[in-house]
Structure 1
């Protein structure tokens, strides 16, 4: 028989069941319902449901068939009008189990088997393969430790360790107790933590701040739920807020409905494992902004110690600390803000109820199903969680969300000295900023001092021009003996006015520069004495100095040497530095500075 696709909905008076039966023999179908039991048969489809509320046959029931869509629509009156049936979207839990169970499963199993007729009993397979029995002493058997959903599995990895080494990090989980798993996990996390990676994400968090702005579907659903609760001041069913896709419904129909006999401690650990898995899933959805990639399976199982280390937690705080440590050790983005974001998202999902939790678990089931060899985690955990959550009471999840919301997680709880690392990094950054600021200030002062120097040189050249203008009148009133000097000065002036720079303003040669400097010094020295013989002698000395210094590569150094030599001559010949020639000496100094400036700037004195 084939289990058909079906959906359930309700209004205050009726429960509506829509059953999809394409290619069925609609001329022969049978519907039976009484109390919480519902049966439907139309060859080759068969459906048996355990309804979440009681229905009654009172003549108001209706049934119709849509030939185009191939669907049966059956309306069943509620026994108590206005009663709300909870969990109509939990399709796996609605499917009637193969055998009914109660608080005393052994008694029920014996009674159920006694009621079976001989035709329903399976024949014994006499051709079953047999192997010789080897008796082994019980004391020689190694102890096997449990894991998986509710710690109900053992011995799985004993045969598949080589194939599943990429799925879990623990080696030989069947022989490793819970305490030893935890010790090995903490040691592996401490060795994996990278302070440089953490500080890089702490300071350069543009990409992280971008993904933190992403809003998954449960944020809008949670806002709508809060708004509805404020309007009516009562809790609303989240069936209208959480919508399952057809693929998700099909997956729920494929699950086998079964019950789980868990003691109080096992149930507590199952709830804590659920929080751990949801935290890892919320991180994956946030960093990839809802898209799936080849790393999605790795992110979820690596960040969940329940999946990766087969951890069994005992408190919510331990779950949060474990998740925070693994976020800061393994994935690409290692930021504490992502830990907080996953924490808040998990609280929202739990507040939305088991429909939202089931939708997330179905998505995880799909991710693992499409990844090899992560599919084994579905058999160990996710499939059982998908079936178990459908039968969980909403009050239990509400209490779990409240407990999680009251829990706190600080950076000091992680154990990696995050606050000390951040404080040291901030201190280093502040020192670097101070050094950079000091370097910027010095760079700004350097061009300003250069501009002041150039301004002073320009003012000096202006004053020298004025001095030359005033001294020209004295030169015009000189004696006839000075005519010879003027003639010599004109010859030197022609040599001085020769071009010194090319089209790019670069110097053509050091010899020309030396000639210009020596000519400037000679012309400036002419008015410094009234005796023609001494003047000619002085000019000769200046020409010899220029020839001797022309081999120097820098024109400015040549000019400085000439000035120094003039000062030495002035000391050796005090008569030249008398009070009457003070003004002429000033002219010599100013004129020399002007010549050096003209040489450095590549200017022509006539143009200035």
Structure 2
């Protein structure tokens, strides 16, 4: 167990405990108050404080976690209002265990298994992990785990990667191994890898996840895929005029108030990233008929390389031109969609090149509808991620700012031009890097030969 850095302050009615626990699952916070004893557990952190006076949990108490700073702020009400809590700055005193009544010690004469120990309990105890031993010992001793004042953070020169919107974020994946983030492909090394290393990791992971037999089975069972392709998105079937709902207006009011000073290259990258986000949104909307499921957050994040591998476009080596009007390169657009296609063929439930083509067409049509429709799609995506206890992190480092930028900075003219180019873009099966045409040819030959259709259980 790790003792987190913390500080305490007070008002006339409350004690405020500020705890630094970055990159944790806020839904797993366990807080307990028993008189003057306060304890908190959130994997991998444990904190127990002994105050000089009593505290209570009531309607005025609260616990708020800010993922952008990594601080959990717990506010507890004083049992006696106006009572002064002294020595809140003496952290070692707060961490010291409260006095306990010592019971007679038991001496272990031998650790060998005997007839009186048929289950070999001694050996089982010795095999416990260090953490299990700590927990077992703490349970016997009123949860008096050993704690020491965490060292102050020293100003050291460290290599820390920047990622997210305009590379403004860092530190969000420090304790990623404890959050069960199945989308993150970089592991704890996400905080140190360069952009080139992230791209190499992404491509390698896509190749490892690619399953030829799965693709062939879905290609053979084209009937259900065809139903998904024929479906029409409701945002594309209306007349293009709408008013935002009360929920959407509330979401807009809660967006951060920011202004961005962008270079030409950053602006160009954001438009291409926006297109890849819309692709994942379109894929999930088609496969769920615009009715998100519990898997929607995973699907959306997995299909966006800027999320799963922190690797946003552009992916083409050609430089961005410096003309007065932002001009999109067809090569850049095609290269930006290749990772989206690859991921849609390697990760989710339905893996079809034709379905990926239809999702790209959806992206083009949504962009041609203009900024209002695009912004609505981003808010729907943000709502899905905000309600997930792990993947909300991608909403913080990408979607919040992308929503603000789209509403305040994106140009309807640029979105329309981008939509037209995406509609006419050509993503070939050869560019995916896998033998799609050969695999489809094998399936067609089997079906033409009168053999039964392949299914997902075929070897």
**Structure 2-normalised TM-score?**
0.59
Query: What is the Cα deviation at residue 166 of structure 1?
Result: 2.5
Q: Residue 275 of structure 2 aligns with which residue? A: 275
Counterparts of 1:200 and 1:132 in 2: how far apart (Å)? 57
Q: Residue 439 of structure 2 aligns with which residue? A: 421
Which among 373, 380, 396 is matched to residue 356 of structure 1? Answer: 373
Q: Residue 151 of structure 1 aligns with which residue? A: 167
CA shift in 2, pair 1:424/1:256, >3 Å? closer
Is the 1:146–1:153 contact (alpha carbons within 8 Å) kept by the matching residues of 2?
A: yes
- Which structure has more RCO (C-alpha within 8 Å, separation ≥ 6)? 2
Q: Residue 252 of structure 2 aligns with which residue? A: 252
Matched residue of 1:157: which SS? Answer: coil
Q: Residue 11 of structure 1 aligns with which residue? A: none
Query: What is the Cα deviation at residue 287 of structure 1?
Result: 0.8
Q: Residue 165 of structure 1 aligns with which residue? A: 181
**Structure 1-normalised TM-score?**
0.45
Query: What is the Cα deviation at residue 257 of structure 1?
Result: 2.2
Which among 313, 318, 335 is matched to residue 335 of structure 2? Answer: 318
Which among 358, 382, 387 is matched to residue 370 of structure 1? Answer: 387
- If each structure's helix is expressed as a fraction of its own residues, which one has the higher value? 1
Q: Residue 585 of structure 1 aligns with which residue? A: none
Which among 207, 216, 225 is matched to residue 208 of structure 1? Answer: 225
Query: What is the Cα deviation at residue 159 of structure 1?
Result: 4.2
Q: Residue 292 of structure 2 aligns with which residue? A: 292
Query: What is the Cα deviation at residue 331 of structure 1?
Result: 0.9
Is the 1:151–1:266 contact (alpha carbons within 8 Å) kept by the matching residues of 2?
A: no
Query: Size of the alignment, in residue pairs?
Result: 287
Counterparts of 1:339 and 1:301 in 2: how far apart (Å)? 16
Is the deviation greater in 282-291 or in 250-259? Answer: 250-259
Counterparts of 2:276 and 2:193 in 1: how far apart (Å)? 21
Counterparts of 1:296 and 1:254 in 2: how far apart (Å)? 23
Is the 2:185–2:205 contact (alpha carbons within 8 Å) kept by the matching residues of 1?
A: no
Counterparts of 2:218 and 2:237 in 1: how far apart (Å)? 29
Is the 1:148–1:381 contact (alpha carbons within 8 Å) kept by the matching residues of 2?
A: yes
Which among 213, 235, 260 is matched to residue 218 of structure 1? Answer: 235
Matched residue of 1:427: which SS? Answer: helix
Counterparts of 1:352 and 1:129 in 2: how far apart (Å)? 60
Deviations 1:7-46 (A, max 9, x none): xxxxxxxxxxxxxxxxxxxxxxxxxxxxxxxxxxxxxxxx
Counterparts of 1:400 and 1:304 in 2: how far apart (Å)? 18
Counterparts of 1:384 and 1:289 in 2: how far apart (Å)? 27
Counterparts of 1:368 and 1:296 in 2: how far apart (Å)? 9
Query: What is the Cα deviation at residue 134 of structure 1?
Result: 4.1
CA shift in 2, pair 1:353/1:132, >3 Å? same
Matched residue of 2:173: which SS? Answer: helix
CA shift in 2, pair 1:194/1:159, >3 Å? closer
Q: Residue 425 of structure 2 aligns with which residue? A: 407
Q: Residue 393 of structure 1 aligns with which residue? A: 411
Query: What is the Cα deviation at residue 319 of structure 1?
Result: 1.9
Q: Residue 354 of structure 2 aligns with which residue? A: 337
CA shift in 2, pair 1:256/1:425, >3 Å? closer
Is the 1:157–1:164 contact (alpha carbons within 8 Å) kept by the matching residues of 2?
A: no
Matched residue of 1:301: which SS? Answer: helix
Matched residue of 2:208: which SS? Answer: helix
Matched residue of 1:328: which SS? Answer: helix
Deviations 1:343-389 (A, max 9, x none): 01101111111101110011011101111111111110111111111
Query: What is the Cα deviation at residue 167 of structure 1?
Result: 3.8
Deviations 1:98-152 (A, max 9, x none): xxxxxxxxxxxxxxxxxxxxxxxxxxxxx9999867464x4xx3x2221101111
Query: What is the Cα deviation at residue 252 of structure 1?
Result: 0.6
Q: Residue 59 of structure 2 aligns with which residue? A: none
Counterparts of 2:278 and 2:198 in 1: how far apart (Å)? 21
Q: Residue 211 of structure 2 aligns with which residue? A: 194
Counterparts of 2:296 and 2:394 in 1: how far apart (Å)? 14
Matched residue of 1:158: which SS? Answer: coil
CA shift in 2, pair 1:160/1:184, >3 Å? closer
Q: Which residues in structure 2 correspond to 1:101-180 (within 5 Å)?
A: 134=154, 136=156, 138=157, 141=158, 143-163=159-179, 165-171=181-187, 172-180=189-197
Counterparts of 1:164 and 1:272 in 2: how far apart (Å)? 29
Query: What is the Cα deviation at residue 260 of structure 1?
Result: 1.3
Q: Residue 306 of structure 1 aligns with which residue? A: 306
Query: What is the Cα deviation at residue 426 of structure 1?
Result: 2.2
Which among 173, 178, 183 is matched to residue 200 of structure 2? Answer: 183
Deviations 1:57-87 (A, max 9, x none): xxxxxxxxxxxxxxxxxxxxxxxxxxxxxxx
Matched residue of 1:332: which SS? Answer: coil
CA shift in 2, pair 1:134/1:182, >3 Å? closer
CA shift in 2, pair 1:385/1:420, >3 Å? same
Q: Which residues in structure 2 correspond to 1:549-564 (within 5 Å)?
A: none
